[in-house]
């Protein structure tokens, strides 16, 4: 059995449907069998120990998680081989590990408040607040219990900014992926705020429209859209160019708590306490698919608790063919985009959040006890037609695809109506 500070779990693969056109799983989708939390904690009390957020830097060199007790742990990635149970999984990352660990040390950030949200961004050398020359560095934004946002330089652990404006918990953070240092924050004060770190952390905009606590925010990879979800049955889609509301996405039956865009910005997923993930076309507002989280055990065992499968977190895999979800039924699920049932799952207790490693192959999850767990995920060889779709959809909206002089079936494929 697992020892102190360890958890043991096993992913069970689901059979692939015959004739799967994408051949999504070239190898058997069996994931890591034994795993450990990021680091054991030496605390005697249990209060405020939740890992509300986990994050990888976009270059894959750093991992951070809010390990409770007002602390954020920063670790150079990959972990030491001894910390992962199957060293063979990391062979391709060994050289990268040596490079990323050169001069990089694990550190703890003492934030002074419970930490709820985390987000990394690259900081171009030309924009460094200290005027330092050299290679670009990574920064980490932390959303705190008192409404502050503290921004840290990862390599040194130095505090760069304290951003003031929110009146309540900063629940989530999202940097624009284009390196512009635009940061969006989501708060229990029912607002989203837009900050420009290249202009000394100036507050650019306040977005109002939610009537409940805002749980999450996600900027699309092409930086054109922002999705936000609150304790409401709908999610809001905003323009990142004009900071105006594009549309309200209605379809869930309970609070929407998590959202994420696909790598090509062509899809948006939202997760809700209603036990469903809805896949949307963000350009048209159309619901493309609903993924229902059905308990694996007898329905009789769950008849007294309608919230057993309430969703906590959803995220896209980096190649855009899979989703990971964490639910209150103590399961981490992996979904293939074109299927309506999970292709793999693993038991995990008290899960709160999940995030894919940006280069694929791993998923990190955070739990209520302040632990973080690392799971292997299916390594995917994308089909040529998916790679072409992803490349085209990176710069074509749904409406632009529909206007192309191409066959209807090809339009349906490019707009993810078919897979």
**What string of pLDDT tens digits covers the 419 residues of the chain?**
333 333 333 444 444 433 343 444 433 333 443 333 344 444 444 446 788 899 999 999 999 988 777 888 898 887 764 455 443 344 444 444 444 445 578 888 999 999 999 999 998 865 565 555 556 789 999 999 999 999 999 999 999 999 999 999 999 999 999 999 999 999 999 999 999 999 999 999 999 999 999 999 999 999 999 999 998 999 999 999 999 999 999 999 999 999 999 999 999 999 999 999 999 999 999 999 999 988 765 433 444 444 567 889 999 999 999 999 999 888 889 999 888 888 888 888 788 999 999 998 889 998 887 788 888 887 778 899 999 999 999 999 999 999 999 999 999 999 999 98
Name the DSSP class of 37.
B
Contact 231, 272 (CB under 8 A): no
Contact 357, 317 (CB under 8 A): no
For 120-151, the three-class secondary structure string (H helix, E strand, C coil) is EEEECHHHCCCCCCCCCEEEEEEEECCCCEEE
pLDDT at 125 (0 to 100): 66
pLDDT at 236 (0 to 100): 97
> Which phi and psi (to 5°) does residue 390 adopt?
-60, -40
| Sheet with strand 191-196: strands edge to edge | 170-175, 182-187, 191-196, 202-208
- Identify the bridge partners of residue 150 per DSSP, sorted by sequence position: 142, 162
- Please name the residue that has the structure tokens 């996600």: 218
pLDDT at 34 (0 to 100): 31
Task: Tell me the pTM.
Answer: 0.85
* H or E, element range at 97: helix 94-101
- Please name the residue that has the structure tokens 């994931």: 31
C-alpha separations of 341 from 67, 138, 325, 335, 336 in Å: 32, 37, 12, 7, 8
pLDDT at 178 (0 to 100): 93
Can you tell me whether residue 230 is helix, strand or coil?
A: strand
pLDDT at 347 (0 to 100): 81
Encoded tokens for 245: 């509301």
> Which phi and psi (to 5°) does residue 175 adopt?
-90, 145
pLDDT at 139 (0 to 100): 96
**Opening angle at CA 15, ends 13 and 17, nearest 5:** 145
pLDDT at 67 (0 to 100): 77
- Identify the bridge partners of residue 76 per DSSP, sorted by sequence position: 62
């Amino acid at each position: 059995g697992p020892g102190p500070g360890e958890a043991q779990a096993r992913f069970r693969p689901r059979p692939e449907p015959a004739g799967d056109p994408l051949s999504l799983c070239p190898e058997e989708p069996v994931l890591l069998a034994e795993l450990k939390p990021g680091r054991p904690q030496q605390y005697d009390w249990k209060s405020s120990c939740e890992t509300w957020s986990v994050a990888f830097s976009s270059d894959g060199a750093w991992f951070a998680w809010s390990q409770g007790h007002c602390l954020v742990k920063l670790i150079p990635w990959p972990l030491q081989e001894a910390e992962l149970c199957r060293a063979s999984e990391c062979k391709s990352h060994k050289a990268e590990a040596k490079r990323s660990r050169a001069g990089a040390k694990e550190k703890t950030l003492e934030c002074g408040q419970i930490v709820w949200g985390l987000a990394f961004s690259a900081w171009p050398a030309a924009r460094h607040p200290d005027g330092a020359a050299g290679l670009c560095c990574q920064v980490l934004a932390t959303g705190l219990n008192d409404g502050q946002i503290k921004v840290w330089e990862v390599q040194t652990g130095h505090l760069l900014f304290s951003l003031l404006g929110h009146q309540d918990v900063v629940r989530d953070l999202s940097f624009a992926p284009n390196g512009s240092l635009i940061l969006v924050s989501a708060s229990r004060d029912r607002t989203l705020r837009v900050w420009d770190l290249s202009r000394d952390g100036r507050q650019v905009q306040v977005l109002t429209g939610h009537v409940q606590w805002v749980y999450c925010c996600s900027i699309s990879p092409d930086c054109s859209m922002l999705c936000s979800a609150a304790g409401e049955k709908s999610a809001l889609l905003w323009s990142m160019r004009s900071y105006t509301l594009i549309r309200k996405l209605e379809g869930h039956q309970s609070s929407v708590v998590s959202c994420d865009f696909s790598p090509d910005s062509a899809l948006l997923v939202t997760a809700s306490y209603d036990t469903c993930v809805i896949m949307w076309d963000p350009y048209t507002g159309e619901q493309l698919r609903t993924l229902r989280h059905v308990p694996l055990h007898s329905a009789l065992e769950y008849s007294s608790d309608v919230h057993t499968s309430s969703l906590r977190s959803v995220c896209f895999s980096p190649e855009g063919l899979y989703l990971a979800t964490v639910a209150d039924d103590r399961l981490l699920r992996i979904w293939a985009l074109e299927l309506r049932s999970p292709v793999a799952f693993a038991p995990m207790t008290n899960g709160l959040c999940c995030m894919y490693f940006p280069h694929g192959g791993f998923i990190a999850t955070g739990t209520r006890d302040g632990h973080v767990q690392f799971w292997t995920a299916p390594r995917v060889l994308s089909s040529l037609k998916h790679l072409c779709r992803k490349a085209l959809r990176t710069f074509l909206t749904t409406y632009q695809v529909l206007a192309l002089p191409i066959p209807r079936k090809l339009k349906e494929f490019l707009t993810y109506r078919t897979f």
